[in-house]
């Protein structure tokens, strides 16, 4: 009996990793793009703007937590997107410095959810969620974005792992094994990582379609949220 209990406990971290990966997903929707004008020079500067436009919860008891989630998402997304842009032959500046491009990201919904419900129950209970609207705007055409799309990322849509994953050590190990510090402890870590990756992908497709240089920035993924979680 002790042997089986020991084996079961050793399998918990792996089960946590598989569960989190299976329940997570990010989608990109509503992609609209327009070509740049002929003869437009290569962009040299970019400003990154991230704003929170997510609605406040109806319950007063949840508003402080949701605001904390939103503030954390704004800061982490801005930091990660600036890092990505700085690897793409672009100089990151402020809007007041009249950049060639503006990368604007609006957070339209965000919640870190409930870790225990997400892992043990699933089916959407306690799910984490991050939805954004992203626009790439040229300073010469502020009213018509060059590229616009929406992202939707969520963790916790599938069944949970039952009482076996209630072990705190299993949860922590699951997050560590994923390579996302605190992934199981803080629901937004995975959503932010996947959202940033998809934004990076869409920007890369657009830049290459315009014959602008765009090198992969996936090598920054592991360190993008270092220190945030």
Residue 113's pLDDT band (boundaries 50, 70, 90)?
low
Which CATH code for domain 2-224?
3.40.50
The answer to which of 39-43, 84-88, 139-143 has the lowest mean pLDDT is 139-143
pLDDT one-digit tens code per residue, 160-184 = 554 444 434 434 434 433 343 443 3
DSSP 8-state assignment for residue 37: P
Closest CA to 14 of 132, 161, 206, 202: 161
Measured between alpha carbons, how far is 161 from 99 in angstroms, rounded to an integer? Answer: 49
Q: Compute the half-sphere exposure of residue 203: CA atoms within 13 Å on the CB side of its CA.
A: 29
What is the domain partition of the chain in residue ranges?
Answer: 2-224
Q: What pLDDT, on a 0 to 100 scale, did the predictor assign at position 35?
A: 86
CB 90 within 8 Å of CB 42: no
């Amino acid at each position: 009996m002790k042997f089986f209990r020991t084996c079961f406990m050793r399998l918990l971290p792996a089960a946590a990793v598989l569960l989190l990966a299976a329940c997570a997903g990010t989608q990109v929707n509503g992609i609209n793009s327009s070509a740049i004008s002929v003869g437009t020079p290569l962009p040299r500067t970019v400003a990154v703007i991230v704003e929170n436009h997510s609605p406040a919860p109806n319950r007063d008891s949840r508003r402080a937590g949701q605001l904390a989630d939103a503030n954390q998402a704004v800061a982490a997304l801005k930091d990660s997107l600036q890092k990505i842009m700085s690897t793409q032959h672009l100089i990151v500046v402020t809007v007041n410095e009249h950049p060639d491009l503006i990368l604007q990201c609006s957070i339209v919904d965000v919640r870190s959810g409930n870790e225990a419900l997400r892992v043990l129950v699933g089916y959407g209970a306690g799910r984490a969620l991050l939805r954004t609207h992203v626009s790439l705007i040229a300073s010469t055409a502020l009213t018509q974005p060059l590229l616009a799309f929406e992202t939707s990322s969520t963790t916790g849509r599938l069944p949970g792992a039952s009482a076996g994953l209630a072990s705190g050590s299993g949860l922590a190990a699951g997050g560590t094994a994923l390579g996302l510090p605190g992934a199981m402890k803080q629901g937004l870590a995975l959503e932010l990582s996947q959202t940033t990756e998809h934004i990076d992908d869409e920007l890369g497709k657009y830049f290459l379609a315009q014959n602008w240089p765009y090198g992969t920035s996936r090598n920054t993924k592991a360190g993008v949220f270092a220190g945030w979680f």
